[in-house]
């Protein structure tokens, strides 16, 4: 057996940890020695109501297992208060798992401005607010692990989820840039796209699938990405039912007209080449725009 991966001395914030995936992440981190801030405002799945019960119950579960945890009942929109809870009780922050979320599924035609804004506020702005409040602490100590929770709907789109998809893919964009900014400061930022049985999925998926897709099958990836031994940053991982895979961008070699005037007809004539994934490349980071500039300087490329 390999050595147990532990989090002794580490302080973890898990948002939306009163139910589903967040509860499972918090329980795993707490059982491995992390001091956990269990954040949850205890509302309904559409963003209605609030209650302290959800977070308190998970704190009790962690303590019953011999772990250390404290509840926070603020919304992720008040991320600074969640981070303050960690500072007040445990004196620092090492790990932030941005997990809290709700749904307002409706076709784009019927989507209200409120449906759009609420989802962007909770998922995208909420993850920003918590991460932004924790960032100076992580930066000062030269160590940090942040996990964003995106979704297949964000990566690939889904009917009735334009608001959720936009917010969820926004998190990937934020993670991409934070991974670059955090690199020299020991802060790693990764993104997961989970699938699990929870109250968010129980009305969409059949009961036998819900039973098989346990949140516990997602949490080991979260724990690994939050561990000091994991050196990866800027990754996107699809996870569920025991499946783990990394996702990356793919780009065709393309067609370059090398910064000279060209017509619509010339572009149309090369259209197949623009979309031809033979010899595709996998751009990442700020150097991804290099081929645009290279093509200008080296006439051989894509001509």
199 touching ligand NAD, by CB under 6 A: yes
Longest dimension (CA), the chain: 70
How far apart CA 156 and CA 165 sit, in angstroms, is 8
225 touching ligand NAD, by CB under 6 A: no
101 touching ligand NAD, by CB under 6 A: yes
Among 85, 125, 151, 233, binds ligand NAD (CB under 6 A): 151
133 touching ligand NAD, by CB under 6 A: no
190 touching ligand NAD, by CB under 6 A: no
How many H-runs (helices) and E-runs (strands) does the chain carry?
12, 8
How far apart CA 76 and CA 63 sit, in angstroms, is 23
Closer residue to ligand NAD in complex, CB, 57/273: 57
DSSP string, 24-35: HHHHHHHHTT-E
Closer residue to ligand NAD in complex, CB, 15/255: 15
- Residue 257 near residue 266, CB atoms below 8 Å: yes
Among 75, 85, 163, 176, binds ligand NAD (CB under 6 A): 75
How far apart CA 56 and CA 52 sit, in angstroms, is 6
How far apart CA 259 and CA 267 sit, in angstroms, is 13
Which H/E stretch holds residue 193? strand 187-194
Residues 10-39 that bind ligand NAD (CB under 6 A): 15-16, 18-22, 39
Closest residue by Cα to residue 25 from 7, 41, 9: 7
Query: In the complex, what is the shortest distance from the CB of residue 57 to ligand NAD, in angstroms, rounded to a whole number?
Result: 10
- Site stretch for ligand NAD (CB under 6 A), options 4-12, 96-104, 231-239, 264-272: 96-104
How far apart CA 22 and CA 71 sit, in angstroms, is 13
161 touching ligand NAD, by CB under 6 A: no
- Residue 167 near residue 127, CB atoms below 8 Å: no
> Which of 143, 164, 217, 237 is flagged as catalytic?
164
Among 67, 97, 99, 147, binds ligand NAD (CB under 6 A): 99
Closer residue to ligand NAD in complex, CB, 199/251: 199
Closer residue to ligand NAD in complex, CB, 25/256: 25
| Residue with the shortest CB distance to ligand NAD | 20
- Site stretch for ligand NAD (CB under 6 A), options 93-101, 223-231, 258-266, 280-288: 93-101
Q: How many CA atoms lie within 13 A of 243 on its CB side?
A: 13
DSSP string, 218-248: THHHHHHHTSTT----S-EEEEETTEEEEE-
How far apart CA 217 and CA 211 sit, in angstroms, is 11
Query: In the complex, what is the shortest distance from the CB of residue 15 to ligand NAD, in angstroms, rounded to a whole number?
Result: 5
Ramachandran region, residue 250 (left: φ > 0; alpha: ψ -120 to 50; beta: rest): beta
Closer residue to ligand NAD in complex, CB, 209/296: 209
**Which residues face 11 on adjacent strands?**
35
Q: Is 164 a catalytic residue?
A: yes
Whats the size of the chain, residue-wise? 303
Interface with ligand NAD: number of residues (CB under 6 A)? 32
- Site stretch for ligand NAD (CB under 6 A), options 30-38, 104-112, 199-207, 256-264: 199-207
Query: In the complex, what is the shortest distance from the CB of residue 153 to ligand NAD, in angstroms, rounded to a whole number?
Result: 7
Catalytic residue positions?
164
Which stretches of the chain bind ligand NAD, using CB under 6 A?
A: 15-16, 18-22, 39-43, 45, 54, 75-77, 99-102, 122, 126, 149, 151, 194-196, 198-201
């Amino acid at each position: 057996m390999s050595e147990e991966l532990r989090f002794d001395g580490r302080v973890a914030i898990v948002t939306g940890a009163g139910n589903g995936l967040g509860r499972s992440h918090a329980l795993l981190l707490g059982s491995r020695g992390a001091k956990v801030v269990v954040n949850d405002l205890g509302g309904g799945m559409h963003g209605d109501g609030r209650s302290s019960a959800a977070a308190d119950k998970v704190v009790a579960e962690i303590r019953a297992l011999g772990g250390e945890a404290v509840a926070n009942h603020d919304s992720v929109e008040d991320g600074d208060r969640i981070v303050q809870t960690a500072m007040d009780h445990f004196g620092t922050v090492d790990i932030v798992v941005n997990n809290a979320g709700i749904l307002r599924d409706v076709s784009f035609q019927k989507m209200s401005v409120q449906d759009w804004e609420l989802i962007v506020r909770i998922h995208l702005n909420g993850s920003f607010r918590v991460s932004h409040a924790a960032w100076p602490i992580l930066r000062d100590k030269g160590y940090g692990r942040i996990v964003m929770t995106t979704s297949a709907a964000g990566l690939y789109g889904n009917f009735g989820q334009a608001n959720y998809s936009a917010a969820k893919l926004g998190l990937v964009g934020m993670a991409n840039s934070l991974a670059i900014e955090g690199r020299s400061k020991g802060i790693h930022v990764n993104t997961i796209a989970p699938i699990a049985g929870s109250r968010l999925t129980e009305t969409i998926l059949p009961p036998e699938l819900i039973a098989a897709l346990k949140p516990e099958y997602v949490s080991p990836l979260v724990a690994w990405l939050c561990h000091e031994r994991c050196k990866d940053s800027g990754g996107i991982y699809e996870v569920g039912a025991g499946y783990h895979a990394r996702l990356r961008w793919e780009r065709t070699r393309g067609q370059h007209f090398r910064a000279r005037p060209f017509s619509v007809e010339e572009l149309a004539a090369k259209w197949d080449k623009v979309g031809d994934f033979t010899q595709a490349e996998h751009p990442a980071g700020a150097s991804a725009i290099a081929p645009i500039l290279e093509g200008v300087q080296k006439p051989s490329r894509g001509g």
